Amino acid sequence: MNKRLPNILVVEDDIDVQDSICEILEINGFVTRRANNVKNAIEKINDEIPDLIISDIVMPELSGMFFLEAVRNNPEFANIPFIFLTAQSQTENIRSGMNLGADDYLTKPFRLSDLLSSVKLRLEKKSKIENKLDLIFEGISKYVPHELRTPLVAILGYPQIIKDNFDELEKTKIFELLDNISFGGRRMLNTLEKFIIYSDLKSNELKNKFKLNSSITSKIEKVIESVNSELSQYIDRWDDLNIEVEDYELKMDSAHLAIIIKQLLENAYKFSKKESKVTVIGKLQKNCYQFVIVDNGFGMTKENISNIGPFSQFNRNINQQSGNGLGLAIVNELLGLYKSKLKIESEVSNGTKISFRIPITTNL
């Protein structure tokens, strides 16, 4: 099977420049399409999405800036690499273009070798991103059926059992089956929420929902208690939590903190025995607030820790715990917004200690 050649859209009103660009690209194995203005370029994108766009900034009627903004504001086109062509006198346009999301710019007159280098670099980066997305989707296709199948057994199977055996079943047994149906539904909802949160984070959707610098969280203990209450709907560990936190205002949105604590507590509960304690500690330190979550569970090897990632789970056959590996991946993505990261300390059979630090509203 022949490999598809990269498709590049060249938007340039100077026909001589347009011809030169397209000629050198075609000689080097690229497929080109041409547009003389922004309106024509938008029509061509709607006909076929290019792998990369090269566009002049100053053009009649609509500018390259308008074109870039239109591309970046359309989710279908937002990830197309975009290279600007600009005159030496247009430094202000360069700055504006990069702020709008241009990937690179070339100043006229430019060397064709520089153009080729920029095009190849942008396409390589695009290919790496697409490969990562392919791995994510492969993980989803591999794990989602299992993660949803187990709760679906309860949701779809138990009502039929009740219907078929209604006259013979005792009331307490019916209530037990109904509880299992409800449990399965909540578990499925939790799984779907994880996939949505992770997807939103990878597409920057969740990152853009909060103004990080102005978001403040106080009443830390209340946030943790609320999360534990939510978890208790499908994990019977309500009484196993110790909370030892000092109250303070954090430079973090409370929704972000709740998501982080929920993922870490859920993992601690899943990989430790019922009635063994899980402790959340929160203390002020110099210029930050440190959280520590400690469990007395199965623990992990150094290899387990290094292999943590989305759609991977350690010791699944041993621990018989359901999971898709997204919890810690979500936590790492969110902590990255606050220039923080997880520290994991663990030994097999000796539990796990996870810690992270969050900025505070004022320096101590």
- Amino acid, single-letter form, for residue 359: P
99 and 136 in a single domain? The answer is no
223 and 318 in a single domain? The answer is yes
Q: Dihedrals φ, ψ of 62, to 5°? A: -100, 135
Q: What is the pLDDT of residues 321-338, one digit of tens each?
A: 445 567 888 898 889 888
Greater confidence (288 vs 4) lies with: 288
Q: Does residue 212 carry a pLDDT above 60?
A: no
Helix segments in 28-157, DSSP class H: 38-47, 64-72, 91-100, 112-152
Q: For residues 121 and 165, what is the distance between their CA atoms, to the nearest angstrom?
A: 66
Q: Does residue 238 carry a pLDDT above 80?
A: yes
Q: For residues 106 and 137, what is the distance between their CA atoms, to the nearest angstrom?
A: 35
For the chain, percent of residues with pLDDT exceeding 90: 32
Q: Rounded to a whole number, what is the distance in angstroms from the first to the last CA of the chain? A: 64
Q: Does residue 8 carry a pLDDT above 50?
A: yes
For the chain, percent of residues with pLDDT exceeding 70: 81
Q: What is the pLDDT of residues 284-317, one digit of tens each?
A: 998 899 999 999 988 888 877 776 655 555 444 3
Q: Dihedrals φ, ψ of 99, to 5°? A: -65, -30
- For the segment 351-362, the average pLDDT, to the nearest whole number, is 86
Tokens (6 digits) for 313: 């789970």
- What is each CA distance from 92 to 56, 59, 61, 101, 267, in whole angstroms? 14, 16, 19, 15, 50
Asked if residue 363 is part of any domain, the answer here is: no
Q: For residues 38 and 236, what is the distance between their CA atoms, to the nearest angstrom?
A: 59
Buried b (16+ CB within 10 A) or exposed e, 99-127: ebebbbbbeeeeeeeebeebbeebbeebe
Q: Does residue 318 carry a pLDDT above 50?
A: no
- For the segment 236-263, the average pLDDT, to the nearest whole number, is 91
170 and 248 in a single domain? The answer is no
Range of the domain at 151: 132-202
Q: Does residue 247 carry a pLDDT above 50?
A: yes
198 and 216 in a single domain? The answer is no
171 and 36 in a single domain? The answer is no
Asked if residue 117 is part of any domain, the answer here is: no
Asked if residue 314 is part of any domain, the answer here is: yes
Asked if residue 13 is part of any domain, the answer here is: yes
Asked if residue 237 is part of any domain, the answer here is: yes
Please, which pLDDT band fits residue 246 given cuts at 50, 70 and 90? very high
Q: Which residue, of 78, 110, 142, is where some domain finishes?
A: 110
Q: For residues 167 and 362, what is the distance between their CA atoms, to the nearest angstrom?
A: 66
Buried b (16+ CB within 10 A) or exposed e, 298-335: bbbeeebeeebebbbbbeeeeeeebbbbbbbbbbbbbb
Q: Which residue, of 202, 234, 262, is where some domain finishes?
A: 202
Q: What is the pLDDT of residues 30-89, one digit of tens each?
A: 999 999 999 999 999 988 999 999 999 888 888 888 898 888 877 678 778 999 988 766
Residue 30's pLDDT is 95
232 and 271 in a single domain? The answer is yes
CATH of the domain at 343: 3.30.565.10
- For the segment 19-30, the average pLDDT, to the nearest whole number, is 93
Q: Dihedrals φ, ψ of 25, to 5°? A: -70, -45
Q: Which residue, of 158, 178, 202, is where some domain finishes?
A: 202
Handedness of CA 45, 47, 50, 56 (dihedral sign): negative
User: Domains in the chain: how many in total?
Assistant: 3
Asked if residue 90 is part of any domain, the answer here is: yes
166 and 232 in a single domain? The answer is no
Q: Dihedrals φ, ψ of 93, to 5°? A: -65, -35
Handedness of CA 356, 359, 361, 362 (dihedral sign): positive
Q: Which residues contact 253 (CB under 8 A, 6 or more apart)?
A: 210, 212, 215, 217
CATH of the domain at 92: 3.40.50.2300
Q: Tokens 């623990």 belong to which residue?
A: 299
Asked if residue 338 is part of any domain, the answer here is: yes
Q: What is the pLDDT of residues 125-184, one digit of tens each?
A: 888 767 765 665 566 556 555 666 667 777 877 888 888 888 877 787 788 788 888 888
Residue 91's pLDDT is 64
174 and 225 in a single domain? The answer is no
Residue 158's pLDDT is 81
CATH of the domain at 152: 1.10.287
100 and 33 in a single domain? The answer is yes
Residue 319's pLDDT is 41
What element of type H or E holds 281? strand 278-285
Asked if residue 124 is part of any domain, the answer here is: no
The verdict on pTM exceeding 0.75 is no
Residue 213's pLDDT is 47
Residue 222's pLDDT is 94
